A = this chain, B = another copy of it.
Amino acid sequence: MRLSQLLLVTLREDPADAELPSHKLLVRAGYIRRVGNGIYAYLPFMWRVLQKVSQIVREEMNRSGAQECLLPQLQPADLWRESGRWETYTKAEGIMFALRDRQDRDLGLGPTHEEVITALARDLIRSYRQLPLHLYQIQTKFRDEIRPRFGLMRGREFIMKDGYSFHADAASLDQTYNLMYQTYSRILQRCGLEFRAVEADSGAIGGSKSHEFMVLAEAGEDEVLFSEDGQYAANSEKAVSVPPKAQPSPFTAVETVETPDCSTLEALCESLNCSATQVLKTVLYGASFENDRQVLVLVGLRGDQTVNEVKLVNALTARAPRYDATALISLSPLESEAAQALLKPDCPLGYIAPDLSDKWINNQPHLEPAFLRLLDETAVPLQGFVAGANQLGQHRVGLRWGNPMVQPQEVVDVRQAQAGDRAVHDPSQRLRTARGIEIGHIFQLGRKYSQAMGATYTSEQGKEEALVMGCYGVGVSRLAQAAVEQSYDDQGIIWPVALAPYQAIVVIPNLKDAQQVAVADQIYHDLNQAGIETLLDDRQERAGVKFKDADLLGIPYRVVTGRAVAQGEVEVVIRASGESVQIAIDQILPTLRQWIARALAGPDR
């Protein structure tokens, strides 16, 4: 296309609301425009990029045997009530936009499609002969983010590929899950991105096993922990590790000691001249369930460790049934004054231990009268340890599990793994950290939705069984921005060849030079004819402006028909390396063809 006929409006200034480089660049280079809070228009150049991402996703999904379909964005609330997620998604977490139609019926705007697809499967799948079945779609999704930001990274409207598979048993699910792991890896390789697949928390989607696909970038929202041998990688929300060794305790006998002004761990260790690894730290949380019941949680863990709140949320959600609840809707450390209102005045905060008496809990409607007491695994092997005496200004030392401290009853893993920890699979390996942008997530859902919604099939043995399910998502618009976040410089975007809106741009420095124009026209025509998507910058602008725009846009190859055309040569500038090469005019096509083929060479294609 001729640039004079395309909508291209570049900006010199960064947009005021943009924090991430990729967000700034996509706006400045005219790829996207903000229409509302967290709502963007994809302008023609961006749309080309998104179509390229979609096409790669589509080809790899089809290759895996999945079938493309399109499910509705408007979703009847009744389906979400069947799965039990309506309240959580529209009220508790509030991430689903809800609306009411003219018949006064509730509808949600799909953030995800487990309910719709399970209802369809219930209708369409009768027999094991139809299994396995894998349907996917590429579609705009919606999330009512409290604080939309980072451009397309955390928008309220975004494009996703989501797929759902149905199986007779766990082995078949495993097979498709592994195939999706490979498919996602191929997709990212073909997009030309550096990425890491990591073990992940399943979050609100539920299910047992899940992996995230992280595009590596310094500004990534997620932290990834990985072992140097590449055998282990996990989202830090989910990661496990071997904690550092605890110091042997210097306290042999049980004693209560005076520890004034020792409500912080640092002060305590200094005062007692001990290591944090010898201290049993107790952290107090307030948790609320969707049925308004509240519980106070005492978490004990080794003093040098910190609580991973994602793991803690999971531990509490698993215990929701004992409070007649299904979903946790808030969790916060009891530090604020508001939270302290849940405790009686003079509760010895800073000096508490997991055996803190229930008598400190205020008598309040909805508030459970007893603490939920959880111990992190790191607390169990402690011997002769230090803990609060449940009295202001006093600690106990030389404690052991058993008297005088009760036996640990509910042991959980709620500890934050950290860079430098040893890996579980091989303690000689240390964990390292990297930052990433989550662009894919695969889940083993099991029977969670099929059981709740009665989606069954008749097995080979003639039995009615609940379908086993998996689900698999790729953030298409997010991936496009992540590609920019991974690859840019001071001049602008550096698109991977596979995602660039156009692969080449022909720039005429001097429109008054007829030979420059003729050569540019010819090259432009020949490249497009050969299937190389090529722009012609025929605008009435100074050469410098054109070069700047080409760099800002991030087109991989810039062909400049400068003065050297008189000698039968043009200049080609490679965006990624900045390298400039003089090439004979008749060699442009074969050269670019070869470079592009090399750049696009995906995994065993």
Contact = CB atoms under 8 A, between A and B. Distances in A.
A304 interface: no
Contacts of A105: 37
A28 to B, nearest CB: 13
A6 interface: yes
Given A47-B70, A65-B5, A99-B99, A35 B94 contact: no
Given A9-B124, A99-B97, A44 B135 contact: yes
Nearest to A130: B7
A5 to B, nearest CB: 7
Contacts of A12: none
A33 B71 CA distance: 10
Interface in A114-153: 116, 119-120, 123-124, 130, 133, 135, 139-140, 142, 144, 146
Contacts of A67: 6-7, 44
Contacts of A130: 7
B124 A35 contact: no
A167 to B, nearest CB: 14
A46 B71 CA distance: 11
Contacts of A39: 72, 74, 76
A75 interface: yes
Interface string A528-547: 00000000000000000000
Contacts of A94: 102
A486 B103 CA distance: 32
A47 B71 CA distance: 10
B36 A75 contact: yes
Given A9-B124, A44-B135, A99-B97, A35 B69 contact: no
A546 to B, nearest CB: 16
Contact of A35 (B41, B120, B146): B120
Nearest to A95: B102
Contacts of A109: 99, 109
Contacts of A6: 67
A6 B133 CA distance: 8
A75 B35 contact: yes
Nearest to A39: B72
Interface in A82-110: 94, 97-99, 101-103, 105, 107, 109
Interface in A148-188: 156-157
B142 A74 contact: yes
Contacts of A102: 94, 144, 146
A222 interface: no
23 contacts: A7-B67, A7-B124, A33-B120, A33-B123, A35-B72, A35-B75, A35-B76, A35-B79, A35-B120, A36-B72, A36-B74, A37-B76, A37-B103, A37-B105, A40-B72, A41-B120, A42-B70, A46-B69, A97-B101, A99-B99, A109-B109, A139-B140, A140-B140
